[in-house]
Amino acid sequence: RKKVTPNILHQQRAAGTPITMLTAYDYPTAKACSANPLIDITLVGDSLAQVCLGYESTTQLTLREMLYHVQAVARGTKHPMLVADMPFGSYQLSVDEAVANAFRLVQEGRAEGVKIEGGQEIAHIVRRITQAGIPVMGHIGLMPQRYLATSGYRVQGRDLESAKRVVTDALYLQDAGAFALLVEGVPKELGKHVTEKVSIPTIGIGAGPSTSGQVLVWDDMMGTWSGHKAKFVRRFADVQTHRDVGVDAYAKAVRDRSFPSPDTESYTMDPAVLAELQ
């Protein structure tokens, strides 16, 4: 399949072909995304912090750590558009620093776009990064990097004020040049409403079935994440069970000396060499 670009994603939206996005944090996962022509976008999400590095929240992830993983994912990425999250603290200090850090994700990480959490208040940053030639995906609704400020993870847009905020944010980001919007944790009716209000693709997670596309975190949908399972997560595979079966079978085979087989899983030595050695 040909490389997916913002243009192709706009065409998919116009044609009503749902956009598929999955997260990846390492080389083998990137290869798995690239092996399926139906996957449009590979996202190195800052969920990397919890599901891969064992941090408690995305606010602990540094740009340096993100870069290291984007590089690995880039080595395994073929046709999907490669988007990287801008970590907490990498775009708030100044617009210049935000642009510089977006450049690092592209130049050192080989990302083809960046994703930034925030709405109206970061629209000027989105504009500058876009003008610099880097495609920006907005991220509105539930913004996990704000969990410190909002005391947890809550569905957004349930009351009128909050719903209006989500729509306003969407329009500001579109105006600032965002090529797509990730919409997280909003009622399905609002997911549909925002999607109808903007002319760029919306990619939902916990935003109902009417967005232009969907995204899930790799470990959530593979069933390898043993932490909290959000309402919107569907486990499309049960890799955890297979994985645990493998670990157990290996450990038992070593304990009972049935692994390795002396015939098929071992090397042999010339008997003459062995005689001299002894």
**CB of residue 103 to ligand KIV, shortest distance in Å:** 21
Minimum CB distance to ligand KIV smaller for 76 or for 206: 206
Question: In this chain, which residue has its C-beta nearest to ligand KIV?
Answer: 45
Q: How far is the CB of 252 from ligand KIV (least distance, A)?
A: 36
Residue closer to Na ion, measured from CB, 9 or 48: 48
92 DSSP 8-state letter: S
Q: How far apart are CA 103 and CA 170, in angstroms?
A: 24
Distance of closest approach, residue 185 Cβ to ligand KIV, in angstroms: 9
Size of the site for Na ion (CB under 5 A): 3
**Cβ-Cβ contacts under 8 Å for 218 (sequence gap 6 or more):** 22, 23, 24, 25, 29, 51, 224
List the catalytic residue out of 184, 189, 265, 276: 184
- Contacts with ligand KIV by CB under 6 A lie at 23, 43, 45-47, 85, 182, 184, 205, 215, 217
Residue 184 interacts with Na ion (CB under 5 A): yes or no: no
- Does position 85 interact with Na ion (CB under 5 A)? The reply is yes
Interface with Na ion includes 112 (CB under 5 A)?
Answer: no
**Which option in ligand KIV, Na ion, none does residue 116 bind, with CB closer than 5 to 8 A by kind?**
none
Q: Is 46 in the site for Na ion (CB under 5 A)?
A: yes
| Angle, CA of 47, 62 and 130, to the nearest 5° | 80
Check if the beta carbon of residue 88 is closer than 8 Å to that of residue 55.
no
From its phi and psi, is residue 54 left (phi > 0), alpha (psi between -120 and 50) or beta? left
Helix %, strand %, coil % of the chain (to 5): 45, 15, 40
Active site residue 97: no
Query: What are 38's two structure tokens?
Result: 């139906």
Task: Provide the binding-site residues for Na ion, judged by CB under 5 A.
Answer: 45-46, 85
Catalytic residues: 184
